[in-house]
Every structure is written in C-alpha cells, then in structure tokens.
C-alpha cells in the first residue's frame, strides 16, 4: 500500500472515530515524511492523524489549512489530557522528530504530576505582565512624560537630554530587557566594564531616579537602583588644564576641522557649555550690541543670561551669517541638526594637533584658569562660567544672605574678561605671547 493510501485510510479512520481515549489505545502506523507531504485538508471541520511511532501524538488538520501537533494521554490521576505541542506548518513550525520529542517530555511531566497546560498558562500570564511592565527603552519616555515634563515647567530637568543619551549608550544592551527581568548585578557589570569611568558614573546618577520611580509603581523589583554603584574613581574631579603650547597646536588645526572648527573656537572664546553652544540659534545673537542671549531652556541652571561677545567671536559670526533664518542653529551639522559625534571630533583634533589626554570639558577649565592668570576676580570668573554666584570679589564664599541679595550680572566686567581671554588666545595662537603670573608650561 502506498504512503498516500495509508494516509487517506488513517484520515478516514480519524474522521469516523468519536472517542479520543480509544485512539490512545489503538495501534496506528508510524507517520512518515512522505505521508505528511501528501496530507489533504478537509473541506470542513478538523481531522486528526495519529502517529504510531509516538503513542498519543496526533496531527490536527483544520479546514483553514492549519496543522498542529497535539498529545493525548492520561495524567498521574488517570484523567485524559490534551496538550498542544506546536504547529506543523506556518511560522515557528516543528517537524515530526521535534513533535515526538516534545510529546515524550510532556507525557513525562504528566506522569510526574506536573501540569504542562497550567505551566503554559502561567508563562503566558508572566509574559503579558512583563509586556505590560515594558522595558527600559519604553520606561524612559514614560518617565519623561510624568516626571521630567513637570520639572521642566518649574525650570528643572535641564540635564535630561544628556541623561537619555548616557543611558541609551552605556546601558544599550539592557534597553529591551523586560523590566521585571532587569538584574542589578548585570547592570553593575556593564557599568564597571564601561571604558569611561566618568561616563559610567554619570549614567548611574541618571538612571537611579528612573529605576526608583518604576519600582515604586510596581513596574520592576525594588532595590535595583539602590544596588547600583558608581565605578571606582568616577567621582574624582578632573584637574586637566591645557598648556599654552597645547592650545597653540590645537588652534592651528581648527581650520581643517570643518563645522567643528568654529564650534571649538566658540567654546574657548566664551567658556560656555557645549550644550549651550550646540542649541544656540541666530535669533539669540545681536551683532549690533555684540551679545549672545542664552534662553533659560538652554541653560544648565535654568536661568536666562546674556554673554557679551569678544570682537573675535563677532567677526566670525558676521562671516558665517549668510542666508540664515532666525531659528537656524549657529553650529549645525550637514543635516541642519545640532553637531554630534563630539568624541570622534575631539579624538581627531587630538590626532592632528599631536596633543593627548584632554577632554572638551577641560577647555572650559582651561579658560577659567587663564582668566585667573589674567587677574580676573573670582566672582567674575564664576559669572563667566554661568555658575550661581557663591563667592565674592576677594574669593571668599558669600553668605546665604549676600548670595540672595546680590543679583548683579556684572555685564561690563564679564565682557572685559572675555575680551581679555580672546586676546590672550590670539597671542598664544599667533606667537605674540606675554608671560603672565602663574603661566602654564
């Protein structure tokens, strides 16, 4: 008898059989690949094709074309059970050999008193619960919606964009892990192995409140945020200050740095933060008065302030301002978006200038040090750096009362300081260097 004939005969017997239990006790031929290839789909309903090679294993064939493996056997208490094993066709299908192996495993579970159906139900419920809880990737916009937005309305949360970048970068391998499965030790290992201790430490500070917020709402286990520790040395304050020779070498290479050249000059001329510079728009500039207005939304301390620009910066802007709209960025990339890939640009600048061991934030520290060497008073340097004024003209810390009442912008002194800084950079870059007190080698 051919394989096709055997398959048809078996189908006929399946269709006429009413008792599922009786099929488990009947002897049937073993299914073969040839028999399975010649299966005919019934016009209506479903038929079952038993496998004599594995007692209780059947292939259910439905009129809609779906074919699925089913195990029929008795459990430890003698009750007849039907366990779905998986599809024979369609996505994620399993063949005859895999179906037999699954049937053996499930039958053994039933003999041992376990309930595969209840286990699958629990697994589905757990999966639904995890899907509902979401992942770290879905948690970030949720936290932004409920927490960050509220803080922004009151002038806080200025560092959230940087926080998102750090979390997405350092913890990228954990972004799509379900929140209930997030492991404190796994997160800690990723943090400990990150090349930049400072970046990893900042990420811990950024992600802790996010995880605490999620755990308080039952989205994940408690204690993970408290478990995370910053890497050793992450809190060590950098002391790097570039020397005059390093500044000269860097300055000479800025012309070949493309869009980053003017940006690096701006950082040095104004001692501003990179985020303030990358968000600056032409509508923030007044070339007639020579000022740059930094809106509160772009300021780290959430306070709008005005930067009096040195002549060198104004001259550069005048050359750059061609066919610009008010809302255009002053320092865009080719797509008109804020400059990115700063790490790569900084490394390239180090390479072409033959300098090493500095970070772009060290430029701001270098500017502050240069201002001190130029004799600028400490409270003016603080104003240049857009810090909350906390020290007086003699360098002593202001009392809370003095800090509360003194709201002077020291605009004239601020402008004079930045002009002196720009002139000093010109002298260093073009060789007309005058020795100053405390000059760096």
Give the model's pLDDT for residue 132: 66
Give the model's pLDDT for residue 15: 47
User: Is 249:220 a contact under the CB 8 Å cutoff?
Assistant: no
CB contact burial 306-338 (16+ within 10 A = b; e otherwise): bbbbbebbbebbeeeeeebeeeebbbbeeeeeb
**Residues 94, 97: Cα–Cα separation, whole Å:** 8
Helical (H) or strand (E) element with 419: helix 411-430
Place of tokens 């061609």: 322
Instruction: Delimit the domains of the chain by residue range.
Output: 46-130, 134-226, 244-430
> Residue 281's beta-bridge partner residues?
329
**Residues 362, 251: Cα–Cα separation, whole Å:** 15
301 vs 141 pLDDT, higher one: 141
CA R_g for the chain = 35
Instruction: Take residue 290 and report the two structure tokens written for it.
Output: 């020579």
The CATH fold assigned to 46-130 is Double Stranded RNA Binding Domain (3.30.160)
Helical (H) or strand (E) element with 315: helix 311-320
Give the model's pLDDT for residue 123: 65
Model pLDDT for residues 312-330, shown as the tens digit of each residue: 999 999 999 888 999 999 9
Instruction: Over range 423-434, report the average pLDDT.
Output: 84
Instruction: Take residue 72 and report the two structure tokens written for it.
Output: 């029929």
The Cα-based distances of 416 to 268, 307, 318, 420, 423 in angstroms read 15, 11, 21, 6, 11
Decide whether 46-130 matches 244-430 in CATH topology. no
The domain over range 244-430 is classified in CATH as 3.40.50.1370: no
Burial of residue 97 (number of CB atoms within 10 Å: 0-12, 13-18, 19+): exposed
**Residues 148, 143: Cα–Cα separation, whole Å:** 7
pLDDT reading at 129 higher than 70: no
Average pLDDT, the chain: 83
User: Is 252:353 a contact under the CB 8 Å cutoff?
Assistant: yes
**Residues 211, 166: Cα–Cα separation, whole Å:** 15
Model pLDDT for residues 394-419, shown as the tens digit of each residue: 555 554 544 554 556 789 999 999 99
Query: In this structure, what are the phi and psi dihedrals at residue 113, rounded to the nearest 5 degrees?
Result: 90, 5
Confidence class for position 30, pLDDT limits 50, 70, 90 = confident
Model pLDDT for residues 43-88, shown as the tens digit of each residue: 888 888 888 888 889 888 888 888 888 988 887 777 888 888 888 8
Give the model's pLDDT for residue 13: 52
Q: Is 338 helix (H, G, I), strand (E, B) or coil?
A: strand
Instruction: Take residue 23 and report the two structure tokens written for it.
Output: 């099929």
**Residues 61, 362: Cα–Cα separation, whole Å:** 71
**Residues 421, 277: Cα–Cα separation, whole Å:** 18
Give the model's pLDDT for residue 408: 63
Confidence (pTM): 0.54
């Amino acid at each position: 008898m051919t394989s096709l004939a055997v398959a048809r005969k078996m189908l006929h017997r399946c269709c006429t059989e009413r008792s599922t239990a009786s099929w488990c006790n009947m002897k049937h031929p073993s299914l073969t690949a040839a028999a399975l290839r010649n299966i005919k789909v019934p016009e209506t309903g479903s038929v079952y094709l038993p496998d004599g090679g594995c007692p209780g294993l059947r292939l259910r064939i439905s009129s809609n074309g779906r074919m699925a493996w089913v195990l029929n056997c008795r459990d430890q208490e003698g009750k007849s059970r039907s366990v779905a094993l998986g599809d024979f066709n369609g996505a994620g299908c399993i063949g005859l050999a895999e179906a037999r192996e699954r049937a053996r495993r499930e039958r053994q579970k039933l003999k041992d008193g376990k309930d595969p159906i209840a286990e699958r139900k629990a697994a589905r419920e757990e999966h639904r619960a995890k899907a509902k809880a979401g992942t770290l990737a879905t948690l970030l916009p949720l936290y932004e919606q409920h927490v960050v937005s509220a803080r922004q309305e009151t002038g806080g949360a200025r560092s959230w964009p940087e926080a998102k970048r750090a979390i997405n970068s350092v913890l990228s391998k954990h972004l799509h892990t379900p929140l209930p499965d997030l492991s404190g030790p796994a997160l800690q290992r990723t943090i400990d192995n990150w090349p930049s201790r400072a970046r990893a430490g900042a990420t811990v500070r950024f992600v802790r409140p996010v995880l605490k917020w999620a755990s308080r709402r039952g989205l994940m286990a408690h204690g993970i945020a408290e478990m995370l520790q910053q890497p050793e040395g992450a809190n060590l304050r950098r002391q790097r200050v570039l020397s005059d020779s390093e500044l000269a070498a860097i300055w000479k290479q800025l012309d070949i740095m493309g869009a980053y050249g003017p940006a690096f000059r701006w950082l040095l001329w104004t001692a501003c933060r990179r985020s303030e510079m990358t968000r600056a728009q032409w509508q923030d500039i007044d070339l007639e008065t020579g000022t740059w207005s930094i809106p509160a939304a772009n300021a780290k301390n959430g306070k709008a302030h005005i930067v009096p620009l040195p002549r060198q910066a104004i001259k550069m802007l005048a050359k750059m301002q061609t066919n610009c709209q008010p809302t255009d960025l002053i320092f865009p990339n080719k797509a008109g978006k804020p400059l990115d890939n700063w790490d790569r640009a900084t490394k390239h600048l180090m390479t072409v200038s033959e300098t090493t061991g500095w970070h772009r934030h060290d430029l701001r520290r270098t500017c502050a040090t240069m201002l001190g060497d130029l004799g600028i008073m400490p409270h003016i340097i603080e104003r240049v750096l857009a810090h909350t004024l906390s020290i007086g003209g003699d360098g002593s810390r202001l009392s809370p009362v003095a800090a509360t009442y003194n709201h002077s912008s020291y605009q004239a002194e601020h402008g004079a300081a930045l002009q002196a800084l720009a002139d000093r950079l010109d002298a260093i870059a073009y060789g007309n260097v005058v020795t100053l007190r405390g000059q760096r080698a």
